[in-house]
Structure 1
Amino acid sequence: MEFPARIDVHQHIVPPVWADALAAHGLDSGGWPIPAWSPDSAIAMMDRQGIATGVLSATAPGVHLAGDAEARTLARAVNEYTAEVVKDRPDRFGHFAGIPLPDVDAALAEAVHALDTLGADGVVLMSNAHGRYLGDPSYEPLWDELDRRAAVVFVHPAQPPLPLLPGTPAPLADFVFDTTRSALDLVLKGVLRRHPSLRVILSHGGGFLPYAAYRFSGLAPLAVDPDRDADDVLRDLKRFYFDTALSASPSSLPALLAFAEPGHVLYGSDWPFAPQEAGTYYNHHLETYPHYTPGQARAIDRGNAEALFPRLAR
């Protein structure tokens, strides 16, 4: 491990209770297999990849797999398991709590419990919950509470409510689309405008949001909300934070770094759903990018995450 070692805001955990629940429902992560996981294997990977701390989260399809009652039980079990992992190695792990949307009452209760009792560093929301996107008006009580706490919200993509492209698992193509769709929904429904204290991280470089942001800002006032102008929409789009998981490349980094506000790009690996060889591939592009401004690479690796998560600062 080289220092200052990275803070990885997009690292996953596979609690046994969650893996068992997926298997019982015949589910996986959008056509992607569920990998093995252990704290020791995670730490070994982090040591090889120069990662000091991984902020753990359950990935798609999240913790609401079927009915509301089962989702409440599963969310609590997943979050308590993850909190114990963090308790054992607080120097190496952080924790985004799984939230059982679209059950808003349960989601609100679980967010409060995870942040107040379990010491979670934030919450993870799937980009859609059984087809209901994050700008859904019924979610407003959850956003109110998260805003009141100035919470960090990690948005992870889920399979969108449409058939998979034959032979193509959702993480390969559809996840990128669904992150973008959900982020735009948050902006066009005014969620970020009404909740100025939220800090929202978008997975995978924000999907294609940085590339298409000016398309959205230029057309939204004409097609959706004539009371907002392009600059207003753009300001909300620039509120987002972005991780680099599976997204550091010679073509994506210029768009991401040109669009994101200073301090809003964070390191991510997507391990173990992205195996270590994938991490090495994207780390190479991140490490050899030739156009960083002074201090920018170090900030992406660690400094920007320290500002969001003071607990993880050395």
Structure 2
Amino acid sequence: MIIDVHGHLTAPAELYAWKAGLLSHRGAHGGKPPAISDDRLREAHFEPHPSFGNVSHFDHIDGAGVDLQLISPRPYQMMHSEQPSKIVRWFTEETNNIIHRSCELFPGRFKGVAGLPQSPDLDPAEWTAELRRTVTELGFVGALLNPDPYEGTQVPPALGDRYWYPVYEALCELDVPALIHAAGCRPPTREPYSLHFIQEETVAVWSLLSSRVLQDFPDLKIIVSHGGGAIPYQVGRFLPSGVRAGGTPYLEKLRRLWFDTCLYTKDSIELLIRVAGVDRCLFGTEKPGTGSQINPETGGWFDDIHLLVNDIDWLTENDREAIFAKNAADLFRL
């Protein structure tokens, strides 16, 4: 059994054409979503796509032996910083509806992970209505949490700030995990969105472990995408400060979080597992996505992460079973 906790929606172009219209008229023409048939939605999952190495979504996950994939919105599409906030809400809600329909069309292959309408013009408590709708009405098993709703245009409160507490309260109430994953990245930032993801996830880990969040919310379940940004690989910089501060050792605090294996080299995955522990690592690929390109050195996909995990020779069969499926099944109550 392989459960991939880090997948994103593959949707027909009509959804994103509608988004372009929302951005053009800024809500003046209303928010009626496009009429996308079940057949059209089904076809999108089997169509080859140039961004996916000219193969389809199902070609990728079937080829990697993924039995169940948790799918969320494509983060860079989420336009959290756009105005007015109603277009952010409309697009988020319809994207979640399309995720739900995809789960219904392919039962047993997908589970939904919600996007939240994280407009900075809304109070975070207002974001949680969509979290509650998707979990209680649509059967979603978690949510994406973008640590930078401004998408690079301003400096947001760090995740240790009380600003985020309404979201943490809702996550604990519903008993679902949050997957930390940044979204778009707009000027004046210097970096592309893919690098912005890693930077924001790095800051997210630092701010959570430097705050009272995990004490105030002992049942909070947080997964950090892309192997935790930079922190697991730079953990040595934080160990001395943990000793100076006294209290809980830094590694013990780090292991209150979970991390996905959405890294594209064996060495990085191996280091993540050594630092975080087998029990804190969840199999994730983002397949199809950034890594969906043929590696000229191997002839395989960069995002064939199952092969990289299998190549770590010191993992036991029980370790692999935990990383590939058991940890996710326990955490998401699958």
Give TM-score, length-normalised by structure 2. Answer: 0.77
- Residue range with higher mean Cα deviation, 179-188 or 46-55: 179-188
Q: Secondary structure at the match of 1:180?
A: helix
Q: Does 2:15 match 1:9? A: no
Q: CA deviation at 1:58?
A: 1.2
Which residue of structure 2 aligns with residue 306 of structure 1? 329
Distance 1:194 1:63, change over 3 A: farther
- Residue range with higher mean Cα deviation, 181-190 or 202-211: 181-190
The separation in 2 between residues aligned to 1:141 and 1:240, in whole angstroms, is 19
Q: How does 1:164-203 map to 2 (within 5 A)?
A: 165=190, 169-171=192-194, 173-203=195-225
* Structure 1 residue corresponding to 2:230, chosen from 208, 212, 215: 208
Which residue of structure 2 aligns with residue 110 of structure 1? 130
Which residue of structure 1 aligns with residue 80 of structure 2? 64
The separation in 1 between residues aligned to 2:85 and 2:309, in whole angstroms, is 41
Q: Does 2:40 match 1:44? A: no
CA RMSD of aligned residues (A): 2.7
1:23-78 residue CA offsets vs partner (Å, 9 max, x unmatched) = 4549xxxxxxxxx9923332232111111111101132335241321112111111
Give the number of the structure whose alpha-carbon radius of gyration is greater. 2
Q: Does 2:160 match 1:151? A: no
Q: CA deviation at 1:169?
A: 3.3
1:148-191 residue CA offsets vs partner (Å, 9 max, x unmatched) = 222111111335677555xx6331x3322221111211222322
The separation in 2 between residues aligned to 1:198 and 1:265, in whole angstroms, is 16
The separation in 1 between residues aligned to 2:240 and 2:202, in whole angstroms, is 16
Q: Secondary structure at the match of 2:234?
A: helix
Give unmatched runs, 5+ long, in structure 2.
Answer: 25-40, 47-55, 295-300
Which residue of structure 1 aligns with residue 255 of structure 2? 238
Letter of the 2:283 partner, please give it: Y
The separation in 2 between residues aligned to 1:249 and 1:122, in whole angstroms, is 27
Distance 1:280 1:76, change over 3 A: closer
Q: Is the 8 A contact 1:214 1:234 kept in 2?
A: no
* Structure 2 residue corresponding to 1:249, chosen from 240, 249, 265: 265
The separation in 2 between residues aligned to 1:218 and 1:161, in whole angstroms, is 35
Which residue of structure 1 aligns with residue 160 of structure 2? 135
Q: Is the 8 A contact 1:122 1:153 kept in 2?
A: yes
* Structure 2 residue corresponding to 1:92, chosen from 109, 112, 117: 109
Distance 1:162 1:215, change over 3 A: farther
Q: CA deviation at 1:22?
A: 5.4
Distance 1:220 1:74, change over 3 A: farther
Give TM-score, length-normalised by structure 1. Answer: 0.81
1:88-140 residue CA offsets vs partner (Å, 9 max, x unmatched) = 22210011100122431331111111111111111111232114243332221
- Residue range with higher mean Cα deviation, 258-267 or 229-238: 229-238
